[in-house]
Homo-oligomer: A and B are copies of this chain.
Amino acid sequence: MVWKSGITLIEPNHIVTRGYRQEDLIGSVPFASVFFLLIKGRLPDEREARMMDAIITSSVDHGTTPPSTHATRIVASAGVPLPTAVAAGILAVGDVHGGAIEDSARILQEWVKKMKKENWSYEQTARDLLNNLKSAGKYMPGFGHRIHTADPRTKKLFALADELGITGDHIRLTKAIEEEFAKTKALPVNVDGAIAAIISDMGFDWRLGKAFFLLGRCAGLIAHAYEEMTREKPMRRMCEQEVEYDGPWERDLAKNV
């Protein structure tokens, strides 16, 4: 069986990624731009390069409480290699942790297509989109946050997108949705929603939504695994007082088998 791939060619002393020799990329093209190249098959222009770097950086860390970081630290405390602990954290990047980027991007991309086809305004599209989700018993992902009412990462990412001329239909529709929410109750765009809108305006497939978060967060997970391994005692765990058993009380096995 032959494995085909268009990503990297390997020959003796010759390593070519998406058409570029790796020695030409190393030290000349920033890592975030090489990631863009790996995904898109072409190098970003200067604006795209800055935006891509900002997106990944905005995901690096959010303290010890998110499931990914929590899982990495717990596993790191059990006496395993650092990559094993980091991988455990990446496994927690799921539909409700980072997943809003994917879902939100999918919905935005679908409705921007409709909007353009039907020649709707952003306002009308936002209203229809929310009504449509509501009648299906769903909600719009990428809005609201447990802690932050005005997420500083969102504000900065949107400001950059404006400054770099990246802002397009998806960001505008996102802001229209935010305004539509505000008519009844403020539900501001969160960092997932901001990333979803920006990568959509940059032309990325929504199926890559979790990837941007995952790559940035990988940096934070490494830092947490290393802090756990070097600063804490092995085998971190909860005290028994934090646990409550609500299963059945003792049964007599002799009566059952």
- A87 an interface residue at 8 Å Cβ cutoff? yes
Question: Inside 8 A of A79's CB, which chain B residues have their CB?
Answer: 94-97, 99
Binding site for B on A (CB under 8 A): 1-32, 34-35, 38-39, 41, 43, 50, 53-54, 56-58, 60-68, 70-71, 73-75, 77-88, 90-99, 147-153, 155-157, 160, 205, 207-208, 210-211, 214-216, 218-220, 222-224, 226-227, 229-231, 234-240, 242-251, 253, 256-257
Known contacts A153-B26, A220-B7, A220-B38; is-contact A210 B82 (Cβ 8 Å): yes
- Are B75 and A237 closer than 8 Å at their CB atoms? no
- Are A57 and B83 closer than 8 Å at their CB atoms? no
Query: How long is the Cα–Cα vector from A65 to B93 in the complex, in angstroms?
Result: 22
Known contacts A8-B245, A79-B96, A245-B63; is-contact A25 B240 (Cβ 8 Å): no
- Are B13 and A148 closer than 8 Å at their CB atoms? yes
- Are B43 and A248 closer than 8 Å at their CB atoms? no
11 chain-A/chain-B pairs, Cβ below 8 angstroms: A3-B242, A9-B247, A10-B243, A12-B147, A12-B149, A19-B248, A34-B219, A43-B257, A71-B74, A78-B96, A83-B211
Question: Inside 8 A of A60's CB, which chain B residues have their CB?
Answer: 17, 22, 31, 34-35, 38
- Are A86 and B81 closer than 8 Å at their CB atoms? no
- Are B67 and A78 closer than 8 Å at their CB atoms? yes
Most buried by B among A5, A22, A66, A256: A5
- Are B237 and A211 closer than 8 Å at their CB atoms? no
Query: How long is the Cα–Cα vector from A138 to B73 in the complex, in angstroms?
Result: 25
- Are A91 and B63 closer than 8 Å at their CB atoms? no
- Are B7 and A227 closer than 8 Å at their CB atoms? yes
Name A248's contact: one of B18, B28, B99, B250 (CB within 8 Å): B18
Known contacts A62-B8, A82-B207, A153-B23; is-contact A215 B222 (Cβ 8 Å): yes
- Are A23 and B156 closer than 8 Å at their CB atoms? yes
- Are A247 and B7 closer than 8 Å at their CB atoms? yes
- Are B21 and A152 closer than 8 Å at their CB atoms? yes
Name A75's contact: one of B86, B91, B148, B215 (CB within 8 Å): B91
- Are B63 and A243 closer than 8 Å at their CB atoms? yes
Apart from A3-B243, A29-B257, what are 5 other A-B pairs with CB-CB below 8 Å? A8-B245, A29-B57, A71-B74, A80-B95, A84-B84
A15 to chain B, nearest CB (A): 6
The 3 A-B pairs with the shortest beta carbon distances in the complex, nearest first, are A79-B95, A6-B247, A19-B248
